[in-house]
A and B are shown apart, each in its own frame.
Chain A
Amino acid sequence: MAEQRAQPIAVDRGFWTVTLVLAVLAVASIVFWILFPISKYLPEAIITARQVDTMFRFMAASGSALYVFIVGYLIYFSIAFRAKATDPPDAIGVQIHDNPKLEFWWTLLPAIFVLLLSVISVRIWYEILLEPENGLVIQAIGHQFYFSFRYPNVNGEITDEMHLPLGEPVTLNLTSADVIHGFWVPAMRLKNDTVPGLVTTIRFTPQLAGRYEIICTQFCGVLHSQMHKQVLVIEDRASFDKWYQGWQQRNAHVSNALPAAPGQAISLQGGDAAAGKTLFAQKCTACHKLAPFDQRLVGPGLQGVLHDPAHPNLVNGKPATPENVAGILQNGFTGSLGTMPNASANGLSSQDIANLVAFLNTLKL
C-alpha cells in the first residue's frame, strides 16, 4: 500500500506534453471557427446577420477550445491512469480530495468568461434591437399554413412572396390570424413568433439581394412542415416599385368593400364566376385543392362541392346549397380538420362571396 501512495503524482513531463498538444489543438479549433466561411453556406442577408455569426464564432471558438481540453484530459487520464495487469488487485489510486487553489481558479475563470460573454451578447443584441425605426413598415400575418403581408397603401393582404428593396430599413410587425407560428428567415439569422392577439416587431436592413426562405418554426397544425414562403430582396428600386404598384392596383377593389360581417344577409344574385375564380386562386388554394372532396389539403377538395352526390352535406352538416356555402365563407367553420377563417379574417366582401359561390357552382365533378 505504501508504495501505491508513493506513486509519482506530481504533474510530470507527460502532463505538460499533453497540455501543450491540447493547447495547439485548442488554438487550431479557434482558428478554424474564425476562418469558417459561414456565409458560403448561408448568406448574410441583413446587416446584423454578420453580428450573429460573430457571436456564434466567438462561442464556437471558446466552446471548442474548452471542449478540446476536457475531452483531451479525459482521454489522457483514462489511458495514463488505467489499472495495469501488473498492478495488485487491491491497488488504489492516490487519494486526492480537493485542491482549493485549483477549484478557486476553475470557478473564477469561468465566472470572468461569463461576464465577458454577457457583455458581448448584450452589445450584439442591442445592435439588433436598435436597427432604425423609420423605413418600410410591413405587417406579416401567420395563417394556417401560409404567411401574408400588409404593405402601406396596399389594400388587403398580399399572399404572394414578400419583396423588399435592398438597403432600406424594414420594420416588420408580426401577428397571427389563428395559432402561434414562427417567422424565420435563416439567411437573416432572425426570427420571432407570430402570436394571435399580439404584435411583435423585428427590424432589419437587407444588405444582400437575393431570394430567401421564410420558414415557420412553431408547430402550427398538420401542414406545419409545408409552411414556407419566400422573401425577395431587390436591388433595382424600379422593379420593386413595379411590384408594389402592381399590388396596389390588383388589390384596389378589396378596400372598396368592407369584409362581410357574420350573419349579414348576402345576395347571391349577380355573382361573377370569373372574378370568383381569380379570388379563389388568391384566397383559397392555400388550403383547398380543385379536386374531389377526399383529396384534402387542409380543408376538403372543392371540385364539385355543389354537385357531388357522394357528399350531399358540407363539413358543417348542412346540405350543400349555395346559401350554405356562402354561410361557411362568411362565418368560417372549425371542425376536426382545423379552422376555416371567416370573411373578415379572409378579407372577403359580400360581393366576393357571391363571386366565389358563383365560381364554385360552375365546378362539376
Chain B
Amino acid sequence: MSVAAVHSGGIADHIHPEPQGFIRRYVFSLDHKIIGIQYLVTGFVFFMLSGLLAETIRTQLLNPNGGFVSPETYNEVYSIHGSAMVWLVVIPLLTGGFGNLVFPVQIGARDVAFPWLNMLSFWIFPVSGLMLFSSFLMGAPTAGWMEYPPVSLQGQAGTSMWAAAIFLVGVSSTMTGLNFLVTILKMRAPGMTFTRMPLFVWGQFATAPLLMIATTALAAALAALFINREFGVPFYDPTKGGSPVMWQHMFWFYSHPAVYIMILPAFGIISEVLPTFARKSIFGYKMIAFSSAAIALLGFMVWAHHMFTSGLAPFLQLPFMILTYIIGVPTGIKIFSWTATLWGGKIHYSTAMLFAIGFVALFTLGGITGIFLAAIPFDLHVHGTYFIVGHIHYVLVGGSMMGIFAGMYYWFPKMSGRLLNETLGKWHFWLFFIGFNGTFIPMHWLGMLGMPREVATYDPQFTFWNRFETFASYLMTFAILIFFVNIIWSIRYGKKAGANPWGARTLEWQVPSPPHYYNFKHVPTVYGLPYDFSQPLPYKGLEEELTDSPPAVAAGAH
C-alpha cells in the first residue's frame, strides 16, 4: 500500500484509490496531510493540559510559602508540565505535525515513504500521552523532566509509568525520523536537488537523523530506569554498585540533540515565512541550510554542558564548553541572515510574519544566555536555578512555540481552506509577546540572586518578581485562549483562502487548499530555488493543478 513514486527519471505513478468512509479517511488515515493534522490537534490538546499545569505552577508561586497545592502535588505538576511540553507538544507539533503536513508537498512527493509506519507513529503518540497523564493516578513522578536517579528510584509508582510513556513516544519519534529521512532522500520530485529544497525541508532533513540516533540513547536510559525500579537491577543505584551519573550522560546525549529537534524545524518555518511576507528572496540560502546540518552534527558533541556540576574531571569538561561556544557561530549566521532578509523587502505584517520576527528577537536572547551557560565559571553559579528556567523558555517558547504559532497562521489556510482571523491573531501576538517577556525575563535575575529551580516554596525576598511573573503568565495564557478561539471560529467562518493567499512560492501553495489526495495531479519538475520573487515559478507540470481536470485519484474511483 505504499506509494512507489520514484524520484528523478520517469515517475512510476503507482497510485491507490482514495479510501472511502470516515474511519479510513480521518481516523486510521494513511494520508500524510491528515496525519499531520491529527498530530497538530493532539499536540494542541496536550498543550492545553500542560498549560493548565503551568498556571498551577505559577499560581503556587504567588506566595513564598506556596499554599495553592501541597509540595508533593507541586512537584508532580511541574514534572509532568515539563515532560509533556517537550515530548507531547513541541516535538510532535514540529516533526509529526508540521513535518507531515508540509514537507512532502514541498518536495513534490505524493506521500511519505512509509505511510503505514506514519500511521503507526501517530497512533502511538496519543496512547503514550494518555499514559503520561495517567501517571497522576498512581502518584506522578516528582523529579522534573530529567528524573535524575537516585531520587527518581524513590519516586512514586507513576515514575515507572512516566518512563514507559516517554519510551513509547520515543519509539514514535524514531519511526517518524526514519520515515522523513527516507522520504527526503528518495522521493523528491525530478529536479528537486538538495540545493533547491525549501528551507523547511532542510530543517526536517537535519532533524530526522537526530530523531533516529539520539532517541535510541534515551530509550536505553529509560528502559534501564524502568528495570531498576521494577526489577531491582541496580543500573543507577549507587548503594549496589550502579552509577547515577550514567543516567545523566545518557539522558543528555539525547536531550541536547533534542533541543535541536525542537528548534531546527522552527528555524525552517521562519525561513519560509520571512521571505514570503518580505516579498523577497531569503538571504544566504546555502548558509542557512548548511548551518542546520552543522548544528545537528555539533549538537551531538556538547551534552556534558548540562553536567558541569556533576563531578566530571575538568579536562573532560573543557571541550564541552568550547564546542558549545562554537555552536553559536552557525546559529549566529542564521540570525544574521534572517535579519538581512528583511533589508530591501516589501514587508506585509500578517500575524505569521509578526510571530516570525518575534521569533528572531526572542530566540536570539535565549541563544545568548545559552552561551552564558556554556561558560563553566558562570554555569557553576547559575546551574540548577531560575536562570536555566529563563533560558529554556526563551528558546522553547520564544523560539519553538513562536515558530509553531507562525506556522499555524501560515499553513492553517493550506490545511483548512480558510484563513485565521487576523485581528484576533494580532491580539494573540501582542499579548503573548508582552506576557511572555514579563514572565520569563525576571527569572534570569532571580536565578542569579539565589532562587533554585523546582521549588514549591521560596525565599520571601523574591516575592515581588514572582508575583510579577505570575500575573504576566496569566496574560500569556489569555493570549493563548484567543488563539484557540480563533481556530475554532475560523474553521467555520474564516475567510476562504484559495490556493495561495500569501503569494508564496513553494510547491504546497501551487496546489488547492487543502491539496488533493496524493497532492499532485502530475508530479511537477523543479528547475530552481523557489525564493526569487522577480522570477517565474521554477516548476513545470503544474498547469492542471488548479483546473477542474480530474485529480490523480478521482474520489470513489477504483
Contacts and interface: CB of A to CB of B under 8 A. Distances in A.
B19 interface: no
A337 to B, nearest CB: 10
Interface of B: 71-72, 75, 142-144, 148-151, 154, 156, 238-239, 243-245, 278-281, 283-287, 309-311, 314, 318, 321-322, 325-326, 328-329, 332-333, 335-337, 339-340, 342-349, 357, 360-361, 364-365, 368-369, 371-372, 375-378, 380-381, 383-385, 448-450, 452-459, 503, 531-535
Nearest to A7: B344
B450 A182 contact: no
Interface string A83-103: 100010011111111110011
B279 A92 contact: yes
Nearest to B238: A197
B301 to A, nearest CB: 15
A295 interface: no
A81 B345 contact: yes
Given A77-B343, A114-B328, A121-B375, 14 more contacts: A9-B344, A42-B450, A59-B375, A70-B364, A74-B360, A77-B339, A97-B532, A99-B284, A103-B287, A107-B287, A110-B328, A125-B314, A193-B309, A217-B453
Nearest to B358: A74
A27 interface: no
Q: Interface centre among A180, A192, A336, by most B CB within 10 Å?
A: A180
A184 B83 CA distance: 26
A91 B346 contact: yes
Given A70-B335, A196-B150, A107 B280 contact: no
A195 interface: yes
B19 to A, nearest CB: 40
B71 A63 contact: no
Interface in A34-81: 41-42, 48, 51-52, 55-56, 59-60, 63, 66-67, 70-71, 73-74, 77-78, 81
Nearest to B452: A217
A309 to B, nearest CB: 27
A9 B345 CA distance: 10
A225 interface: yes
A-B pairs with lowest CB-CB distance, top 9: A217-B384, A93-B280, A197-B238, A225-B455, A186-B450, A93-B345, A77-B342, A200-B311, A94-B344
A81 B278 contact: yes
A110 B156 contact: no
B49 to A, nearest CB: 22
28 contacts: A1-B534, A9-B343, A52-B378, A59-B375, A59-B378, A63-B368, A63-B372, A70-B335, A74-B342, A77-B343, A77-B347, A96-B281, A96-B340, A97-B531, A98-B284, A98-B286, A107-B287, A114-B326, A180-B148, A180-B150, A186-B449, A191-B384, A195-B310, A197-B243, A215-B452, A217-B309, A220-B151, A224-B454
Contacts of B144: 219
A29 B365 CA distance: 15
Q: Chain A interface residue count: which class? A: 35 or more
B148 A190 contact: no
Contact of B333 (A90, A103, A219): A103
Given A87-B346, A219-B143, A129 B314 contact: yes
A124 B318 CA distance: 13
B179 to A, nearest CB: 32
